Amino acid sequence: IPVSGVSLSAQPPNGQVALGDRLVLNCTVAAGTGRLAFSWHREGLATPLGTGPYLELSHVGDKDSGHYQCRASDGDSVAESPTLNVTVLGEWDPRAGVIL
């Protein structure tokens, strides 16, 4: 069965993360048999960001904004997730209760 139904989810939801916080992306596959390999890509970068079903950015910075995508392969077929737009929000100021 070829790989299909690749989807991407994010924590925090919708890919909106505060500067310095943690972002975890999760890639899931609806169908596919055999050993699955995952790779993570960001628009504009030639080199994959990582492999495996999860991608964790532990301290998100300004340069981490962009469109992310995961690819799943079983060796014979490759399927890509829709892209997720990650937005890095300004720093949270706990004293003022606002995003800077």
Question: Any idea what the CATH number is for the domain that residue 30 is in?
Answer: 2.60.40.10
42 inside domain? yes
Which residues are 80's β-sheet partners? 71
Amino acid symbol at 83: T
Task: Tell me the C-alpha distance between 93 and 91, whole Å.
Answer: 6
- pLDDT over 80 at 93, yes or no: no
pLDDT value of residue 62: 85
pLDDT in tens, 3-62: 999 999 999 988 999 999 999 999 999 998 888 999 999 998 889 999 999 999 999 998
pLDDT value of residue 21: 94
Cβ pair 53, 32 in contact under 8 A: no
- Number of structural domains found in the chain: 1
Could you give the C-alpha distances from 4 to 1, 33, 62, in angstroms and in order?
9, 10, 33
**Which residues constitute the domain of residue 16?**
4-90
Query: For residues 33 and 80, which has the higher predicted lDDT (pLDDT)?
Result: 80
